[in-house]
Amino acid sequence: MSPAPLRIAPLRIAIDTGGTFTDCVWVEGGRLRLLKVFSTPADPSQAIVNALKKIGHRGDWVLLHGTTVGTNTLLQRKGARVAFVTTAGFEDSIEIGRQARPRLYDFFFDRIPPLVAGDMRFGVAERTSPEGKILTSPSPGALTKLARRIWRKQPSAIAISLLFSFANPRNEQQVARELRLLKIPLSVSHEILPEFREYERASTVVANAYLQPVMQSYLQRLQGRLPGRDSRAFVMQSSGGITAIKAAAREPVRTVLSGPAGGVVGAAAMARRSGFERVITFDMGGTSTDVALVEGTPRAASEGEIAGLPVRVPMLDIHTVGAGGGSLARFDAAGALRVGPESAGADPGPICYGRGTQPTVTDANLLLGRLRPENFLGGGFVLDAARTSRIIREWLRRQRSSLSLEQFGLGVIRVVNANMERALRVVSIERGYDPRDFTLIAFGGAGGLHACELAQAMGIPRVLVPAMPGALSAYGILVSDVVKDYSRTVLWRIEGQRVSADVARRLRRELESFASMAHQDFRSEGWPPPEELAASADLRYHGQGYELSVPLRSFSDAQFLERFHREHHRRYGYAQPSHAVEIVTMRLRASRPAPSIRTGAPAAPSEVLSPAFAAVNFGGRRLRTAVIGRSHLRPGQKHRGPAVITEYSATTVVPPAMNFRLDAAGNLLIEGKN
563, β-bridge pairs: none
Burial 450-468 (b: 16+ CB within 10 A, else e): bbbbbbeebebebbbbbbb
pLDDT at 60: 80
Q: How far apart are CA 485 and CA 112, in angstroms?
A: 29
Q: Tell me which DSSP letter residue 274 carries.
A: T
- The answer to whether the 13-73+217-252 and 481-592 domains have the same CATH topology is no
Q: How far apart are CA 183 and CA 180, in angstroms?
A: 6
Please name which of 28, 443, 437, 39 lies closest in space to residue 266, comparing C-alpha atoms. 443
Mention every residue, 6+ apart, whose C-beta is less than 8 A from residue 3.
none
pLDDT at 9: 57
Q: How far apart are CA 519 and CA 530, in angstroms?
A: 7
Please tell me whether residue 513 adopts helix, strand or coil conformation: helix
pLDDT at 1: 41
Q: How far apart are CA 371 and CA 164, in angstroms?
A: 56
If residue 387 lies in a helix (H) or strand (E), which one and from where to where?
Answer: helix 385-398
What is the β-pairing status of strands 337-343 and 481-494?
unpaired
What end-to-end distance do the CA atoms of the chain give, in Å?
Answer: 74
pLDDT at 180: 96
Fold assignment, 481-592: Dna Ligase; domain 1 (3.30.1490)
Q: How far apart are CA 669 and CA 287, in angstroms?
A: 26
Asked if residues 364 and 412 have their Cβ atoms less than 8 Å apart, the reply is yes
Asked if residues 396 and 363 have their Cβ atoms less than 8 Å apart, the reply is no
Q: How far apart are CA 185 and CA 159, in angstroms?
A: 9
The CA-atom distances, in angstroms, between 661 and each of 583, 608, 629, 671 are 48, 21, 13, 9
Q: How far apart are CA 409 and CA 366, in angstroms?
A: 8
Please name which of 34, 66, 67, 64 lies closest in space to residue 51, comparing C-alpha atoms. 34
Query: 13-73+217-252 architecture in CATH?
Result: 2-Layer Sandwich (3.30)
Q: How far apart are CA 297 and CA 314, in angstroms?
A: 15
Mention every residue, 6+ apart, whose C-beta is less than 8 A from residue 235.
64, 65, 66, 67, 219, 242, 243, 244, 245, 247, 248, 255, 258
Please tell me whether residue 379 adopts helix, strand or coil conformation: helix
Domain segments of the chain as ranges:
13-73+217-252, 77-212, 327-415, 481-592, 613-672
Please name which of 145, 141, 179 lies closest in space to residue 160, comparing C-alpha atoms. 179
Q: How many CB atoms lie within 10 A of CB 614?
A: 16
- Determine the residue type at 251: E
Residues in the chain: 674
Asked if residues 124 and 88 have their Cβ atoms less than 8 Å apart, the reply is yes
Q: Is 652 left (phi over 0), alpha (psi -120 to 50) or beta?
A: beta
Low-confidence ranges of the chain (pLDDT < 70): 1-9, 378, 598-611, 673-674
What is the β-pairing status of strands 462-465 and 127-128?
unpaired
pLDDT at 7: 43
Q: How far apart are CA 316 and CA 481, in angstroms?
A: 14
- Determine the residue type at 3: P
